[in-house]
């Protein structure tokens, strides 16, 4: 059985916490800036920490699950979805490593910029990769 809960939560949080879409902490000129479509290494680090905290809450404390058919609960904590989601969040944050599409080119590298279309494209890539890792491959890291 496939657990779509972590995929759904990870994708929604990816969109909501992408630096520059709703907010950016720290901002370029203020502590918090809203909807500026900018990013920086510091804001990606802060947003990644927020993402990690919320993913831990939803995956490990609340244990969000979404099965098409009921399945028995696991007794051990599964850190696989947390690790995969946080790593993908950092690597796919628009503007850190790359921005697809870029402002002047199809792909721009390390420009610390973002846009609505870039966030959409990066979200689709995020969804595809997290679905592959969590559903198709079934990555699990269990701890007692």
**pLDDT band at residue 15, thresholds of 50, 70 and 90?**
very high
- Distance in angstroms (rounded) separating the CA atoms of residues 81 and 31: 31
**Considering its fold, how many domains does the chain have in total?**
1
User: Is the pLDDT score of 70 beyond 60?
Assistant: no
Nearest to 55 by CA among 19, 2, 8: 8
pTM over 0.85: no
Q: Which of 70-84, 103-117, 119-133 has the lowest mean pLDDT?
A: 70-84
Residue 72 has pLDDT above 70, yes or no: no
Can you tell me the distance from the alpha carbon of 99 to that of 112, in angstroms, rounded to the nearest whole number?
A: 8
Task: Report the chain's mean pLDDT, rounded to a whole number.
Answer: 88
Q: What pLDDT is recorded for position 59? A: 82
* CA-based nearest residue to 65, from 15, 74, 50: 74
Q: Is the pLDDT of residue 101 over 60?
A: yes
Q: Which domain holds residue 38?
A: 5-143
Specify the pLDDT at position 1. 61
Report angle CA 99, 7, 5 to the nearest 5 degrees.
155
Residues whose CB falls within 8 Å of the CB of residue 21, separated by 6 or more in sequence, listed in order = 15, 35, 37, 114, 116, 119
In sequence order, the 6+-apart residues with CB closer than 8 A to the CB of 62 are none
Return contacts of 42-48, CB within 8 angstroms, 24+ apart.
Answer: 43/19, 44/19, 44/90, 44/93, 44/96, 47/17, 47/18, 47/19, 47/89, 47/93, 48/86, 48/89, 48/90, 48/93
Q: What is the pLDDT of residue 62?
A: 82
């Amino acid at each position: 059985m496939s657990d779509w809960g972590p995929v759904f939560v990870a994708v929604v949080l990816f969109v909501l916490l992408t630096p520059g879409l709703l907010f950016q902490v720290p901002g370029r000129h203020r502590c918090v800036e809203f909807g500026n479509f900018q990013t920086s290494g510091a804001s990606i680090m802060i947003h990644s920490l927020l993402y990690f905290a919320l993913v831990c809450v939803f995956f490990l404390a609340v244990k969000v699950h979404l099965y098409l058919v009921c399945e028995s609960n696991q007794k051990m904590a599964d850190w696989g979805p947390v690790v995969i989601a946080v790593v993908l969040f950092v690597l796919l944050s628009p503007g850190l490593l790359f921005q697809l599409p870029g402002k002047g080119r199809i792909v721009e590298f390390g420009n610390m910029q973002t846009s609505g279309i870039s966030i959409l494209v990066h979200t689709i890539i995020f969804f595809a990769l997290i679905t592959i890792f969590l559903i198709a491959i079934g990555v699990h890291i269990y701890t007692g």
